[in-house]
Amino acid sequence: MSLLTVKNLQIAYGGIQAVKGISFEIKQGELVSLIGANGAGKTSTLNCLGGLLKPASGEISYQGQNLLTIPTHDRVKHGLALVPEGRGIFSKLTVAENLRMGAYHRQLAKDELEQAYQRFPRLHERKEQLAGTLSGGEQQMLAIVRALLSKPKLLLLDEPSMGLAPIMVEKIFSTISEVTKEGVAVLLVEQNAKAALALAQRAYVMESGKITLEGDAKELAADSRVRAAYLGE
C-alpha cells in the first residue's frame, strides 16, 4: 500500500489554476523527485500536502487516511514534515532552539539533539548562534535536521539546493539519500533535475500544472525529451 496517494489534485489561487488534476503516489522509504520549470506547480503541490494551501478539488490519502481532514498544525504529529523553499527557520532563535521546535509535539530523548548534530557537525559548532546569522547552506542544514527531529514518515523538500555552493549541495543530497535508507519517504522538488533524477527511485515531470511524464528516475534521465528540456542537452 502506498504511503501517499494523490488523485486528480487541482489547486487554484488568485485566479490562477496552478495545478490541473495531477495524480501520483509515494511508497514507504521511497525517494520521489518532482521536476519541472518555474511555475509548473511543484511548490503549490508541496504546500498543499503540507497544509499551506487548500485544493480546489481532488483526493489525498496519507497512511490510508484522508489528509485533507487533518488540520495543518497536526500533520507533523502524523509524520508529515515540510521544508519549504526559503527554509522557514526562526531567525531570532538559536540553532539549538530551532531544533527543539522540530520536536515541539513530543519529548526529546536525552541524547537526541546530539545525535541530530552528527548529520551536520557544523550546526553543533554554531548551536548557540542565532539562526538568522548562519550562511544559506547552514540554514538549509538546520531546516532539514529540524524537520527530521519531528520523526517524519514523509519528508517534503522544496528546492533544498537553491543558491548553495556545490560542496554544500553535495552534502545536502548525501543526507537526503541517507534519510531514505533509514525508511523515511521523501518527495523532492528540485530545479537541479540531473541531481534530482540521480537521487530518486522514481520521478514525475510537471509542465504547466500537469504531470506529463512519470516513471523510473534513471529511465527518465535517459529520455530525450527530459534531456532536452531539463538537462541542457
Model pLDDT, residue 131: 95
Half-sphere exposure of 222 (CA within 13 A, CB side): 5
pLDDT per residue rounded down to tens, the chain (233 residues)? 799 999 999 999 888 899 999 999 999 999 999 999 989 999 999 999 999 999 999 999 999 999 999 999 899 999 999 999 887 899 999 999 999 988 878 788 778 888 889 999 999 999 999 999 999 999 999 999 999 999 999 999 999 998 888 988 999 999 999 999 999 999 999 988 999 999 999 999 999 999 999 999 999 999 999 999 888 76
Q: Which CATH architecture has domain 2-231?
A: 3-Layer(aba) Sandwich (3.40)
d(CA 227, CA 231): 5
Query: Tens of pLDDT along 189-210?
Result: 998 899 999 999 999 999 999 9
Parse the chain into domains and list their residue ranges: 2-231
**Which parts of 38-165 fold into alpha helices (H)?**
42-50, 95-102, 112-117, 121-125, 136-148
